[in-house]
């Protein structure tokens, strides 16, 4: 990723504006063991206490890295019950990177975040319908499948 992804201007701007990057070798102990880093590149989204909220393993090009980071940030906010911030990250991802590998999970998480913040089940069904229409082969469509039954 050093040769292709990180030099990209959009990637560098996003990283500098939104994350605190920490790069460690995969054999660095005790962190490699503590965070179960067995293959590289491994991208982990951690909160300020070092708790993991998202993980991506393997090469990501410049079109996939920013969406993966947005998804990780959204998931961190979601796991912290900060649904407004999570929804902002998911919306940014879907608006700017609708064809990324991270988009189906963002749609699923967006539906769940809306449900948890409003207690209205309709966003769950809407998430399923969008996944069924646009990402039919996605595992996130399959995970949302029961939501089709919501009236």
Q: Single out the residue of 5, 43, 47, 9 nearest to residue 24, CA to CA.
A: 43
> What is the token pair recorded at 10?
């959009």
Q: Cα dihedral sign for 95, 98, 39, 33?
A: positive
pLDDT score, position 86: 98
Half-sphere exposure of 6 (CA within 13 A, CB side): 9
pLDDT score, position 2: 67
pLDDT score, position 129: 98
Reported pTM:
0.89
* pLDDT tens, per residue, the chain with 151 residues: 666 677 778 888 888 888 888 888 888 899 888 888 888 888 899 999 999 999 999 899 989 999 999 999 999 999 999 999 999 999 999 999 999 999 999 999 999 999 999 999 999 999 999 999 999 999 999 999 999 999 9
Residues of the chain with pLDDT > 90, as a percent, come to 70
Cβ atoms 40, 26 nearer than 8 A: yes
pLDDT score, position 121: 98
* Number of DSSP helices (H) and strands (E) in the chain, helices first: 7, 2
Domains in the chain, start-ordered, CATH in brackets?
A: 9-149 (1.25.40.10)
Three-state helix/strand/coil letters over 25-63? CCCCCCHHHHCCCCCCCEEEEECCCCCEEEEEECCCCHH
Backbone angles phi, psi at 44, to 5 degrees: -115, 135
């Amino acid at each position: 990723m050093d040769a292709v992804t990180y030099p990209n201007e959009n990637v560098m701007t996003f990283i500098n504006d939104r994350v605190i990057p920490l790069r460690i070798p995969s054999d660095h102990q005790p962190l490699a063991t503590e965070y179960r880093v067995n293959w590289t590149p491994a991208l982990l989204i951690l909160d300020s206490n070092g708790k993991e909220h998202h993980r991506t393993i393997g090469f990501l090009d410049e079109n996939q890295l920013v969406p993966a980071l947005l998804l990780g940030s959204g998931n961190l906010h979601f796991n912290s019950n900060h649904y407004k911030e999570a929804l902002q990250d998911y919306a940014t991802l879907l608006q700017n990177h609708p064809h990324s590998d991270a988009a189906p999970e963002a749609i699923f998480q967006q539906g769940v975040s809306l449900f948890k913040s409003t207690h209205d089940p309709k966003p769950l069904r809407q998430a399923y319908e969008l996944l069924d229409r646009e990402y039919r082969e996605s595992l996130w469509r399959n995970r949302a499948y029961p939501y089709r039954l919501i009236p």
